[in-house]
Structures are given as C-alpha cells and as structure tokens.
Structure 1
Amino acid sequence: MLLTLANVEVAYGAVTALRGVSLEVAEGEIVTLLGANGAGKTTTLRTVSGLLRPRAGQTWLDGRPLSSIPAHELVGRGVSHVPEGRRIFPSMSVRENLLMGAYHDRRHVRTDLGRVLALFPRLAERIAQPGGTLSGGEQQMLAIGRALMSRPRLMLLDEPSMGLAPMIVQTIFEVIAEINREGVAVLLVEQNAASALRIAGRGYVLETGEVVLAGTAASLLADDRVRQAYLGEDVGGRTTAG
C-alpha cells in the first residue's frame, strides 16, 4: 500500500480535528475525501504532507512511518501537495513558479516542463506572465503543474474546483484523470462530490473528524446519505439543491 493512516488523531491545541481516522491509497488509484467544511479533510492532507503531526495513531508511506520523514523530504519521496487556495507565487512568472516545483531535483526539468505545458496549453501561452495576473482557473492549473514538476507518485489535491467556472472545473477534472492514467495516485479533497466520485475509485466520508462512510465510488454514489448530503438529492432522487 502506498499510503496508510491508522487510527490517526490530530489536534489544534485543545481542539481535536481528527478522531481515529483510518484510510488507504494504493499505487495508481484516485481516492476522494468528502465532507462538510470543518470535517477534517484539509487536516488529513496536511497530516499526510508532514505539515501536522498526529497526536495518536500511525501514518505510513511505502510501509515507512511518515513521522520519521521530515516534511521537506517528502517531495523527494514522491508526495506533492496542491493546497486549498492554490498558493502560487504571484510576483513570479509562470515559468518560475513551475521551476519551483523541481527544486529538489533539476535533472529532468526540460522534459517535465514540456510535459506540464503540453497538459496545460494556457500556461504555455502565459509562460512569462506573473502568476498573480492569471485567472483563478489558470492559477489552479499552475498549482497542479508546479506539483507535477516534482514527479510525484502521490498527489494531494485540496479543493481544486473551488471558485471556478463550470467549464474550467470540467477541464481540471479531466486533467486529474489524465494525471492518474499516467500512474500518479491522487488523494482528492473536493466539495463537488459528483465530479470527484466520477473519477475516483474509492472514497471516504468525514464528519467532525471521523470516517463515517467508506467504499467504492459507485457504492457511495448510490448511498442515500451521500446523495442527500453531498449530491443535492432527497432519498427519492429528486433534486433539492439549486
């Protein structure tokens, strides 16, 4: 198993954010985390990427405890994190932002840059522009492209569709699926549950820091609780959300 969390607890001071969370991501699969705001999804990703340390439980990457790997070394071990809000460098050019993703190993920069620009032609057109002048969708492409420059085996994606127009959202999900077809495993946090479950193989539902549902994407799409809470349907299948 590429990634394993077992009974993980994480706290912010006196506030417990994760309570006994267990999940797995195998090589080359897409797993999505669903849940309302504050459910613990972002905390889970930050724990995997080493930005937070569990108070209890175990985390493993390739069978090695994540607690023994400093956060800055995880990139070199194949973990990349695209945070919520993109977090690009606004004053740096598109090219410079992308090159920052390859800081730990620059041996394949030319090849990887060509691959990213082929995946995101809009970035190729704006290669010299400051990142801060890009649209929201283009900035999301840039954030994903920067993560790809590190040649990840596991990509952590936090709300990649947030605030984007529907046409751009579709493009982003198509790109995530393409990245996965190239062999990159994805742990995806996404409010757009329907789109996430369409490309994922499995999923977990978090509520107040606990996993309350887990299963294949197909089984979650068919689950009345998921349909009602995250897909905007009532149990009879009628749309309840606008």
Structure 2
Amino acid sequence: MSGTAEVTKEQAAGQPEGTPVLELRDLRVFYGAIEALKGIDLAVYEGEVVALLGANGAGKSTTLRTASGMLAPRSGRVLLHGERVDGIKSHDLVRFGIGHVPEGRRVFPRMTVRENLEMGAYRFKSPDRDTLDRVYSLFPRLHERRTQLGGTLSGGEQQMLAIGRALMGKPELLLLDEPSMGLAPLIVAQIFDILKEINEQGTTVLLVEQNASQALQLADRGYVLETGAVAMSGEASRLLADPRVREAYLGEGAA
C-alpha cells in the first residue's frame, strides 16, 4: 500500500496548508543493497505532533535518522521550511532548529545531569540559563539529580535527561524515537504529559512510538509505515478508530 498517491489521498482531508516545518519527498535510503525507505513522503507542520507508527523494521528510526542528517538518502529530498537540507551533517542541522532524541536515550554516563544538559547547548557559546530553568521546570527530577552521574539514573530519568538535553538546543522541531521503550506505564504517562506540555509551549514534534494508542491520543496526524513505505496516513483520531490500525497495533480484532 505504498506510494505517493496513497499519501496524497490520505492527507487531503487533514493536512494543514502552507509550507511544512519538515518535508520528506520521495525519500529512498539504503543499508548496503537493502532498501530501507522506499519513496517516503511525509510532512510536519508548525505546532503539530505527528506520530510515525509501524512494526519493527518498518523504517521508522531510519526516517528520523535521515531527517536529522545522521543518514544520507540515496535519492529524494529533506526540506526544512522549504529549504533543502539533505547532505548537511547532523551536528550542523542543529542550527536549523532540529533536536533528535535517539532510541535508547544515549546519555553520557560519566557526566553529571547538569553536564549532560549543557552538552545539548553546544552550538551556543554558553548554556542559556532560561532554557536550563525551563528544562528543570519540565523535569523537576533532573534538578534534584543535577549533580548525579547520568549512568546512575533510572531508565525513566535517563529518558527525561535525553529529552531535556535536546531541548537545550532550543529546537523548533523535536524528533523523538521510542520515548516509552522499556519504561513502566506510570513513567510513560508522565513522559507523554510532558511531551504534550512541550508541544503546547511551541515545539513541533515528530514522534516514533510503538505504543500506538498513546501516540495517536497525543498526535494531530499520523503515518503508518510498512516495510519502508507509507501504508496509511491521516488525522490521528481517524487512524485510532481505523480497524486495520486497531488490529495491527492495538491488539484488537478488526470489527
């Protein structure tokens, strides 16, 4: 069910107008001879939360890694506010307003919480105090643990630290890869509440998440990937009610 025509049809009803913050056009990415992304078309508009769903190996993380400059596409385009940026390295894309929270958190285990956060502000001459205060306000636990080594934090605290570190770069667009992975349900609920607050404060979000129900309840729109191609897309509420999505990702039989 892949292809640009399917995306265009699905997006026609719910996609905002204007120039997207992020747009992927006919994106093809390979790992050696294996085609991981097969002509992805995707758009994220200012102020949205967009969920990217799919089974393991569908290409979700590859999509984020390509959007943030960690992978180079074989063909296709990555555009930020209409400006082509594919080919720009990830550490340079930060200045374009992209923050990427990778799968697995990847905090610096031998640095303190405060030092981890300061690393997220590397593109500035010095960390912005107001931004640091904002992160501490969103994640009070990080303020409590600010002198503690990153490697000694719990899984949930490390996820908070990874998100906080990305926010220190003052991103306009935040890419999140599986923020709920391996976390207890109570912590997952806390993380998603904070993501909602981050979005309400003005940060646009593209979210990869295995917890389809949680993701679609937060999101405005969503895309479903299957084997490197967009199979479905549309308003999050419509996807959440779709029997195919409910059967495949919510563990419910199709009505």
TM-score by length of 2: 0.91
Opposite residue 112 of structure 1, the aligned amino acid is T
RMSD over aligned Cα atoms = 0.9
CA distance in 2, matches of 1:56, 1:213: 22
Secondary structure of the residue aligned to 2:69 is coil
Deviation, 1:106, is 4.0
Contact 2:112–2:149 (CA<8 Å) still a contact in 1? yes
Deviation, 1:105, is 1.2
User: Which of 108, 117, 121 lines up with 1:89 in the alignment?
Assistant: 108
In the alignment, structure 1 residue 18 sits paired with structure 2 residue 37: yes
User: Which of 143, 156, 165 lines up with 2:184 in the alignment?
Assistant: 165
Once the two structures are superposed, residues 141-200 of structure 1 have per-residue CA deviations (whole angstroms, 9 ceiling, x without a partner) of 000000000000000000000000000000000011100001111000000000000010
> Which structure 2 residue ranges, 5 or more long, are not aligned?
1-19
Opposite residue 168 of structure 2, the aligned amino acid is M
TM-score by length of 1: 0.96
CA distance in 1, matches of 2:181, 2:90: 26
Contact 2:118–2:127 (CA<8 Å) still a contact in 1? no
Aligned length: 236
After TM superposition, the structure 1 stretch with the greater mean CA deviation from structure 2, 190-199 or 108-117, is: 108-117
User: Which of 69, 73, 81 lines up with 2:92 in the alignment?
Assistant: 73
> Which structure 1 residue ranges, 5 or more long, are not aligned?
237-242
Secondary structure of the residue aligned to 1:186 is strand
In the alignment, structure 1 residue 212 sits paired with structure 2 residue 231: yes
Deviation, 1:76, is 1.2
Secondary structure of the residue aligned to 1:32 is strand
Opposite residue 89 of structure 2, the aligned amino acid is P
Q: Could you say which residue in structure 1 is the equivalent of 2:76?
A: 57
Deviation, 1:130, is 0.2
In the alignment, structure 1 residue 100 sits paired with structure 2 residue 155: no
In the alignment, structure 1 residue 152 sits paired with structure 2 residue 177: no
Once the two structures are superposed, residues 186-226 of structure 1 have per-residue CA deviations (whole angstroms, 9 ceiling, x without a partner) of 00000000000001000000000000000000110111110
Q: Could you say which residue in structure 2 is the equivalent of 1:196?
A: 215
CA distance in 1, matches of 2:88, 2:45: 19
In the alignment, structure 1 residue 31 sits paired with structure 2 residue 50: yes
